[in-house]
Amino acid sequence: MQKICDKMKTILLLLQVFLLFVDGSYNDGTKQWSWICNTSRKCEKVPNAPVHKYFYNRQEKEPLYSLEACRLICGQYGALWPRPTKDVDLSQDLININPSSISFQMLNAIDEARDFLIENTQLFLKNIFLECGKNCSAVNNGLDATVFISISNSNMDLNWSTNESYSLEISKAGGVYVTITAPSAFGARHALETLSQLITSYKIQENGIIHHQFVIVSKAVIKDKPQYPYRGLLLDTARNFLSVHTIKRQINAMASSKLNVLHWHITDSQSFPLESVRVPQLSKYGSYSSKNTYSLSDVSDIIRYAKLRGIRVILEIDAPSHSGNGWQWGREAGLGDLAVCVNQEPWRSYCIQPPCGQLNPINSNVYSVLGDLYSDIVDILPKGETFHMGGDEVFIPCWNSTLEIVNYLDSQGQDRSHESFLALWSYFQQEALKKFDSKVGNENTPIVLWSSALTEPEIIEKYLSKNRYIIETWVPSDNDLPTKLVERGYNIIVATKDAWYLDHGFWGTTEYHNWRKVYQNRILNSPSVLGGEACMWGEYVDDTSIDSKVWPRAAAMAERLWSDPSSSTSAAEARFYRHRERLVARGIQADAVTPRWCYQNEGMCS
């Protein structure tokens, strides 16, 4: 009986396929509009026309069921974001695939690299089904697809010299064959991200039942590599707490946009949410509540989660300034004042932003407490990972009004000049670095510091070694500090304040930088420029609003740093709008960037 049933099924299936080939074009009752890739390489909206259901027979000029399907094959870069840097050759044809038949062949990855790739193929499948929607019901009438992944090295260190390049080819011969070749598993991950952007699905209705048709670009040849090795997003969890869940969601969006560094500004003078095992007082006195904390295992979990998506986590413990709450227990513990000016008012006399607080550079206990904190961090950081020591906005009047500190200067025969305070600051930096190095056990860890009075080009060489320090500049785009630091031989990261500060527009006289402004910010091109970063400072953002403040704007920066195109925003617009939809489909509450009409009518609102 079972056998007869199976035979019947096969016959029915064959009959169906036959009928479909005979009558492969029909009008989908669920759709009002179709799109056609016209001669100006725009997806043009047309009233719903009969459309070929099977792309084997599709004529190039025939309309497509959805804008997203049209976008895949329209224009040089289709739906890809960020656009690849090198060769891109996409066919103008789509073919149906059966998503549950996609199989993966790992050709030579071993150990951790193999596990990494297997997990990434699952993330890839999850992403294409997320785009399909909650009630995704894929029709199984397409071709099977096989993805061959070949990497030349299974080393799983993710660092400044990780080779993220990849090549990807799609061809059709009986089935769909995808070949991914990359020097590292991280490059192969980027290739899978690209592949997910060469596939889409749309609704079809058959006998009143809604199904989803998956399609893939029928032929593609892509060679790709990033322009800059550092493509970062800063999250600030001290001004307002962000849940682990929220941080992971940002990581997902970063992975979708090929960003590769999460710069975690974990503490500040407002709060100290990091739970140190060796110094539990820091979060006990510094967190907003016992729930608003990150255990070391939370941080490890985030580091692992990020690495699986090709993203490094660089932790920042900002010091000596931007440190207050969390440090106020020293005297009680017999360690003297670890921080000074903590929560002092009127705040304008003691800091740039309330609440005030600055570490006490002349109290040696500060360095042992920092050492214990660094030990905890070193325990969870990947070996050799870069560390960010902050170092911005030291407010001299705070130290200058602290009796203990000015008495110390007197006793050392030093005056109270600007230079004396810079020397004191530099002393702090040297001592803190020594502690860090002693915990790591070597003196090689790259250290990032924000640009500051200590990094002025005229004096920086006196205080900070170019072999050791990377300077993160946060000056406006017309400021020549990045150029001057590069001329002096420093490696830098560029966080352009008047383009990539995502908190701007929500306080004071700052202006909101829309995605075009973000996109147009070209940074200095030099091997010493490691890359750049969008900064989501946390004063006016928390779990409820972060997605729409960061996204899709950070993705605009992602293309700037990945491919650094010389073309304008109008060339990027359709792909960018498409990418915003992709982020939303993947669960990111990315902000709207244009009226729906403009999304549907490409190029008609520019």
Ligand X SMILES: *[C@@H]1O[C@H](CO)[C@@H](O)[C@H](O)[C@H]1NC(C)=O
Q: Does 130 bind ligand X (CB under 6 A)?
A: no
CA 218 – CA 176 distance, rounded (Å): 8
The answer to whether residues 579 and 541 touch, using CB atoms and an 8 Å cutoff, is no
Size of the site for ligand X (CB under 6 A): 28
Q: Which is nearer to ligand X, 149 or 247 (CB)?
A: 149
**Sole window of 5-13, 151-159, 533-541, 546-554 interacting with ligand X (rule: CB under 6 A):** 151-159
**Sole window of 4-12, 67-75, 132-140, 194-202 interacting with ligand X (rule: CB under 6 A):** 132-140
Q: Does 85 bind ligand X (CB under 6 A)?
A: no
Instruction: Please state, as a whole number, how many other Cβ atoms lie within 10 Å of the Cβ of residue 544.
Output: 10
We find the least distance from the C-beta atom of residue 110 to ligand X, in angstroms, to be 15
We find the least distance from the C-beta atom of residue 245 to ligand X, in angstroms, to be 22
Q: Does 521 bind ligand X (CB under 6 A)?
A: no
Q: Does 384 bind ligand X (CB under 6 A)?
A: yes
We find the least distance from the C-beta atom of residue 186 to ligand X, in angstroms, to be 8
Q: Does 165 bind ligand X (CB under 6 A)?
A: yes
| Nearby residues of 324 by Cβ (< 8 Å), 6 or more positions away | 269, 270, 339, 341, 342, 343, 355, 356, 357, 358
Q: Which is nearer to ligand X, 88 or 282 (CB)?
A: 88
Q: Does 426 bind ligand X (CB under 6 A)?
A: no
Q: Does 595 bind ligand X (CB under 6 A)?
A: no
We find the least distance from the C-beta atom of residue 368 to ligand X, in angstroms, to be 28
Answer yes or no: 68 catalytic: no
CA 528 – CA 111 distance, rounded (Å): 34
What is the C-alpha radius of gyration for the chain, rounded to an integer number of angstroms? 27
Q: Does 34 bind ligand X (CB under 6 A)?
A: no
Query: At residue 527, what is the residue type?
Result: P
Q: Does 365 bind ligand X (CB under 6 A)?
A: no
Burial letters for 557-584: b for 16+ Cβ neighbours within 10 Å, e otherwise? bbbbbbbebeeebebbbbbbbbbbbbbb
Q: Does 42 bind ligand X (CB under 6 A)?
A: yes
The answer to whether residues 176 and 208 touch, using CB atoms and an 8 Å cutoff, is no
Q: Which is nearer to ligand X, 36 or 80 (CB)?
A: 36
Q: Does 61 bind ligand X (CB under 6 A)?
A: no
Closest CA to 447 of 462, 456, 459, 435: 435
Token reading at 410? 């007197």
We find the least distance from the C-beta atom of residue 290 to ligand X, in angstroms, to be 37
Q: Does 228 bind ligand X (CB under 6 A)?
A: no
Closest CA to 385 of 271, 304, 466: 304
We find the least distance from the C-beta atom of residue 287 to ligand X, in angstroms, to be 33
List, in sequence order, every residue forming a beta bridge with 96; answer none if it has no partner.
Answer: 215
Backbone φ, ψ for residue 341 (5° rounding): 65, 20
Q: Which is nearer to ligand X, 334 or 527 (CB)?
A: 527
**Sole window of 37-45, 212-220, 526-534, 554-562 interacting with ligand X (rule: CB under 6 A):** 37-45
Sheet holding 199-206, edge to edge: 94-97, 209-217, 199-206
Q: Does 514 bind ligand X (CB under 6 A)?
A: no
Q: Does 477 bind ligand X (CB under 6 A)?
A: no
Token reading at 452? 């500051």
**Sole window of 154-162, 189-197, 251-259, 455-463 interacting with ligand X (rule: CB under 6 A):** 154-162
The answer to whether residues 149 and 188 touch, using CB atoms and an 8 Å cutoff, is yes
We find the least distance from the C-beta atom of residue 193 to ligand X, in angstroms, to be 17
The answer to whether residues 98 and 142 touch, using CB atoms and an 8 Å cutoff, is yes
Token reading at 105? 């062949």
The answer to whether residues 392 and 450 touch, using CB atoms and an 8 Å cutoff, is yes
**Sole window of 83-91, 211-219, 338-346, 417-425 interacting with ligand X (rule: CB under 6 A):** 417-425
**Sole window of 157-165, 479-487, 488-496, 528-536 interacting with ligand X (rule: CB under 6 A):** 157-165
List 16, 40, 57, 349, residue binding ligand X (CB under 6 A): 40
Mapping DSSP to helix (H, G, I), strand (E, B) and coil, where does residue 233 land? Answer: strand
Mapping DSSP to helix (H, G, I), strand (E, B) and coil, where does residue 335 land? Answer: coil
Token reading at 200? 């889409």
CA 276 – CA 589 distance, rounded (Å): 32
What residues from 285 to 324 belong to the interface with ligand X (CB under 6 A)?
Answer: none
Q: Does 44 bind ligand X (CB under 6 A)?
A: yes
List 98, 163, 479, 483, residue binding ligand X (CB under 6 A): 163
The answer to whether residues 271 and 542 touch, using CB atoms and an 8 Å cutoff, is no
List 105, 108, 159, 297, residue binding ligand X (CB under 6 A): 159
The answer to whether residues 421 and 361 touch, using CB atoms and an 8 Å cutoff, is no
List 175, 354, 505, 603, residue binding ligand X (CB under 6 A): 603
List 59, 161, 566, 567, residue binding ligand X (CB under 6 A): 161
Q: Does 162 bind ligand X (CB under 6 A)?
A: yes
Q: Which is nearer to ligand X, 135 or 290 (CB)?
A: 135
The answer to whether residues 273 and 283 touch, using CB atoms and an 8 Å cutoff, is yes
Q: Does 421 bind ligand X (CB under 6 A)?
A: yes
Among 169, 393, 456, 581, which one carries the catalytic annotation? 393
CA 50 – CA 36 distance, rounded (Å): 12
List 278, 304, 418, 434, residue binding ligand X (CB under 6 A): 418
Which stretches within 327-471 are classed as H helix? 364-380, 396-400, 403-411, 418-440, 460-463
List 20, 26, 31, 38, residue binding ligand X (CB under 6 A): 38
Q: Does 244 bind ligand X (CB under 6 A)?
A: no
Q: Does 428 bind ligand X (CB under 6 A)?
A: no
We find the least distance from the C-beta atom of residue 281 to ligand X, in angstroms, to be 31
Q: Measuring CA to CA, how many Å separate 251 from each of 259, 304, 559? A: 9, 11, 16
Catalytic sites, residue numbers: 393
Q: Which residues bind ligand X (CB under 6 A)?
A: 38-40, 42, 44, 133-135, 155, 157, 159, 161-163, 165, 183-184, 384, 396, 400, 416-418, 421, 601-604
